[in-house]
């Protein structure tokens, strides 16, 4: 029986699964890379736009608070001008301003030295004092801080310019709490705005807003770690979520002394330079963004609409800058979440796709596995292995039909080979038998020849002896002896001739038998 060497057929289904999935995954990741790139750009732009809108809302909120304080102050200012000669009314006006505006924490009215006869300095100061149980009361005083008010910025600034202004947080009044003050120069009612000068200023009306209160009000957090800041002209904090920085009168430049990156200074300089935009900086080992713009107070327009412009007191620009500080991870957090979510969905989708591909490919390759088993059985010598016929018209169906034809052809060749093998085996046996017979005949012939040769030995010796005797004694031998020796030679020659005749006859008989044994085709 024909034997073939055993082979191992490769498992194509797994390799095909991996190949298909790898191609799909490659296309999928290329598509996702493009999608994530543009999604990141879109999310980043949206986050920046939201931050800028939040910053704009913060600026508007602060502006509304300051404008409400200004309107409250100017509403009282008109009545104040009517009663400049009544010093006892000044405390009433201060209380009225505080009571009419929840953002006002204190109010002071101070006049130039010797404005009232018999008094070198006159000041009325009313402020809120919060007790330990959380209740607040209004306290009236005739001083503001430890130094004379004539040496304090809230008083000197409007006297120098003759204009209203907002001061930066005042360090002198730390004991009273850090405040932001609106300072209005007080003019006599009959003084015309066109002819006013610094010498016409009679005193100052200062309205205080607590920076801590303002920071609590402005504690907007569009992102978990974001916060709003408002910087004064010298970098001092007007609004900041950390009230300790406000109480310690820290500036934005103090961050560099605490180990902040130099990028903080660059961002602060850009803010105080009146620029708009955003910058990145690094603080406490984390990356941050600050979105900033100049704080442009809209008081003049609103005041004109409400009739405040008639007082003729211009409001100087503060030179403040508003900013929104956001952690970079908060800005790109949605994008990172999107990336993780897309990757998770992609991995799950690839796994499901791999399982579905494996199921479909295994089903489609079932005939190939059947052909593989049949081929293995044929390799093992089962040439009559049954291979079912299929009606499929695809490549697998064609392969199965060709395999069936090959198997049938191989089975026919195997039958022919087995028949030929049987014939050869039979003839080999016959040849072995004939060979055995031939060897037996040869042995018989050899034995016969040896026997006949042995039979001729004695006559030949006698003939040789008689010939030798006649040749050697030719002169001395008697006729009777010669005749006797000749008779011996003759008799022995006849014996040898008889033996030769028997041998010739035996050979003739053997040749005749061999001719009979030769098959006639």
For position 519, what pLDDT does the model report? 54
> β-pairing, 136-141 with 104-111?
unpaired
Hey, is 369 helix, strand or coil?
Answer: helix
The tokens of 97 are what? 């301003």
Please identify which residue in the block is written with the tokens 């039958």: 415
Of 64, 61, 60, give the one whose Cα is nearest residue 72: 64
Please identify which residue in the block is written with the tokens 């016969």: 448
> What is the DSSP track for 392-457?
--SHHHHHHHHHHHHHHHHHHHHHHHHHHHHHHHHHHHHHHHHHHHHHHHHHHHHHHHHHHHHHHH
Alpha helices (H) along 162-223: 211-217
By the 8 A CB rule, do 277 and 290 touch? no
Backbone φ/ψ region at 499: left (φ over 0), alpha (ψ -120 to 50), beta? alpha
Of 1, 23, 19, 2, give the one whose Cα is nearest residue 10: 19
How far apart are alpha carbons 361 and 364 in whole angstroms?
5
For position 4, what pLDDT does the model report? 43
pLDDT per position as a tens digit, 322-375: 888 888 877 776 666 777 777 788 788 778 877 887 787 777 777 776 777 777
For position 304, what pLDDT does the model report? 47
For position 17, what pLDDT does the model report? 63
How many other C-beta atoms are found inside a 10 Å radius of the C-beta of residue 114?
11
Residues 6+ apart with CB under 8 A from 84: 186, 188, 189, 202
The tokens of 518 are what? 């030769």
DSSP-derived secondary structure letter, 123: E
Hey, is 293 helix, strand or coil?
Answer: strand
Residues of the chain with pLDDT under 50: 1-10, 172-175, 300, 304, 306-308, 520-521
How far apart are alpha carbons 163 and 155 in whole angstroms?
12
Q: Break the chain down into helix, strand, coil percent, rounded to 5.
A: 60, 15, 25
By the 8 A CB rule, do 252 and 325 touch? no
The tokens of 381 are what? 């010598």
Burial 78-87 (b: 16+ CB within 10 A, else e): eebbeebeeb
Which stretches of 196-300 are assigned E, i.e. beta strand? 203-210, 227-231, 237-239, 277-283, 286-294
Q: Which residues pair with 239 in a beta bridge?
A: 230
Which helix or strand (DSSP H or E) is residue 47 part of? helix 12-82
How far apart are alpha carbons 43 and 46 in whole angstroms?
5
Backbone φ/ψ region at 390: left (φ over 0), alpha (ψ -120 to 50), beta? beta
Which stretches of 119-202 are assigned E, i.e. beta strand? 122-130, 136-141, 165-166, 179-186
DSSP-derived secondary structure letter, 520: P
Q: Which residues pair with 129 in a beta bridge?
A: 137
For position 385, what pLDDT does the model report? 65
Phi then psi for 5, rounded to 5 degrees? Answer: -70, 145
Residues 6+ apart with CB under 8 A from 208: 104, 105, 106, 107, 108, 127, 179, 180, 181
> What is the DSSP track for 442-456?
HHHHHHHHHHHHHHH
Which stretches of 167-226 are assigned E, i.e. beta strand? 179-186, 203-210
């Amino acid at each position: 029986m024909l034997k073939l060497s055993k082979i191992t057929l490769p498992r194509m289904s797994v390799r095909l699964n991996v190949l298909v999935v790898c191609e799909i995954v490659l296309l999928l990741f290329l598509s996702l890379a493009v999608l994530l790139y543009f999604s990141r750009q879109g999310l980043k732009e949206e986050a920046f736009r939201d931050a800028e809108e939040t910053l704009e809302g913060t600026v508007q909120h602060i502006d509304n608070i300051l404008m409400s304080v200004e309107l409250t102050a100017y509403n009282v200012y008109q009545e104040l001008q009517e009663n400049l000669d009544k010093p006892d009314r000044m405390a009433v006006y201060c209380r009225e301003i505080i009571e009419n505006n929840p953002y006002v924490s204190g109010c002071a009215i101070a006049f130039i030295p010797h404005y009232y006869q018999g008094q070198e300095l006159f000041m009325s100061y009313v402020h809120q004092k919060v007790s330990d149980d959380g209740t607040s009361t209004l306290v009236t005083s005739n001083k503001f801080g430890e130094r004379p008010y004539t040496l304090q910025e809230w008083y000197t600034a409007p006297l120098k310019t003759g204009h209203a202004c907002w001061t930066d947080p005042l360090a002198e009044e730390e004991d009273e709490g850090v405040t932001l003050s609106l300072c209005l120069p007080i003019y006599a009612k009959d003084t015309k705005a066109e002819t006013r000068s610094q010498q016409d200023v009679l005193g100052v009306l200062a309205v205080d807003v607590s920076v801590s209160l303002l920071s609590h009000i402005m504690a907007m957090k569009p992102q978990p770690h974001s916060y709003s800041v408002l910087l004064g002209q010298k970098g001092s904090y007007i609004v900041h979520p950390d009230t300790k920085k406000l109480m310690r009168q820290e500036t934005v430049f103090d961050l560099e002394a605490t180990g902040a990156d130099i990028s903080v200074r660059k961002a602060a300089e850009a803010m105080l330079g009146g620029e708009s935009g955003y910058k990145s900086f690094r603080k406490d080992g984390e990356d941050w963004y600050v979105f900033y713009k100049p704080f442009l107070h809209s008081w003049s327009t609103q005041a004109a609409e409400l009739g405040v412009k008639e007082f003729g007191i211009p409001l100087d620009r503060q030179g403040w800058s508003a900013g929104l500080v956001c952690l970079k991870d908060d800005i790109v957090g949605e994008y990172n979440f999107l990336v993780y979510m897309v990757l998770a969905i992609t991995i799950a989708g690839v796994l499901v796709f791999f399982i579905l591909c494996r199921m479909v490919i295994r089903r489609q390759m079932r005939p190939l596995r059947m052909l593989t088993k049949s081929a293995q059985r044929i390799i093992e010598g089962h040439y009559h292995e049954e291979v079912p016929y299929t009606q499929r018209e695809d490549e697998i169906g064609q392969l199965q039909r060709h395999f069936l034809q090959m198997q049938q052809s191989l089975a026919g060749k195997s039958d022919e080979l087995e028949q030929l093998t049987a014939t050869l085996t039979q003839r080999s046996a016959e040849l072995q038998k004939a060979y055995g017979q031939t060897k037996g005949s040869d042995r018989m012939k050899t034995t016969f020849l040896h026997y006949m040769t042995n039979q001729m030995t004695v006559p030949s010796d006698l003939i040789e002896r008689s010939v030798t005797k006649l040749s050697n004694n030719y002169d001395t031998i008697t006729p009777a002896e010669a005749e006797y020796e000749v008779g011996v030679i003759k008799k022995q020659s006849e014996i040898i001739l008889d033996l030769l005749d028997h041998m010739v006859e035996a050979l003739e008989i053997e040749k005749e038998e061999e001719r009979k044994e030769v098959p006639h085709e």
